[in-house]
Amino acid sequence: MPELVFLAPEAAAGPAADLAVVLSEEIGRQDAASTLVPGRGLDLRSDRVFVLVVGDEDPGPLPELSRTIVVLLAPPGTDCFEQDVAVAREAGGVFHVNAVAVQELLAIGVPAKHLQLGYAPGWDRFDPQATREASIAAVDDLDALTRSQLAIVRSAEGYFDWPRALRAIHCGAVVLHERSLGMAPLLAGRHLFVAAAERLEPVAAVLLRDRERLDCVRAEALDFLHQAVPLELAAAALIGAARTLVAQPLPELAHSTPGQPALKSK
């Protein structure tokens, strides 16, 4: 069984670092070796694969990419996405959390796969007994998400924001998302609500007056994530990709010292 080492930028906070944590935890639940480490500098080993979750944050120095699985969050059309494509072309494995973005990557010759995100125990902060305020939570404020009825999530360049939408659902805040691409298998009206950008605030005001409807969507969204898209499926996909990489020879080394091989210069 390979060891999957998730590389987190030091002192990083944001969707990429957050996702790296829960993926590492989920892989550990499947009795696979998984480690989350800040910074870089780990030795290259025949049984070790690096995993780099890349969002808006600066990923820092890159590991040996031919031995690295890259998980992309940035949507097409952004500067981050263009930078990520250059990294992805050199990586041993490439995933994107948005299925429509995967099609964009395939169209430009990047052999990406979809990493379907879903229910993660490490994200679950839902308290069914909590009294919820008739308010809209800031999407990155976890404490507010656990208290509020609703969270507005805006799309990035027209693409569904999976990490932020899922964090809101796990906290019990019903998601009102700007109309966007790549939302499936979530369904509007059953698991969340969708509106055009200019209609988000008026629709939110109407929803906040319909507590019964919000309660139904909240319950159905959480149940759907539990039953249909547990994060263990994403973890299994990463483990499978890691097994493929460790079956290949290590990259050629320029030189080595006992116990610490050095990477080939680029």
Q: Which residue has the tokens 């039953």?
A: 227
Rounded average pLDDT over 57-86: 88
Q: What CATH architecture applies to the domain 125-228?
A: 3-Layer(aba) Sandwich (3.40)
Q: Looking at residue 176, what is its pLDDT? A: 98
Looking at residue 156, the DSSP 8-state letter turns out to be B
CB atoms closer than 10 angstroms to residue 91: 27
With bands split at pLDDT 50, 70 and 90, how would you rate the model's confidence at 260? very low
The domain 3-117+231-257 is placed in CATH, from the list 3.40.50, 1.20.1630, 2.60.40, 1.10.10, at 3.40.50
Residue pLDDT, tens place only, 213-258? 999 999 999 999 999 999 999 999 999 999 999 999 888 753 333 4
Question: Crossing angle of helices 211-228/162-171, nearest 10°?
Answer: 110
Kind and range of the H or E element at 133?
A: strand 133-137
Rounded average pLDDT over 75-91: 93
Dist CA 201 CA 265 (whole Å): 53
Q: Which residue has the tokens 């809101």?
A: 168
Residue pLDDT, tens place only, 91-108? 999 999 999 999 999 999
Q: Is the pLDDT of residue 180 over 60?
A: yes
Kind and range of the H or E element at 206?
A: helix 200-208
Closest by Cα among 218, 55, 56, 225 to 145: 218
Q: What percent of the chain has pLDDT over 70?
A: 90
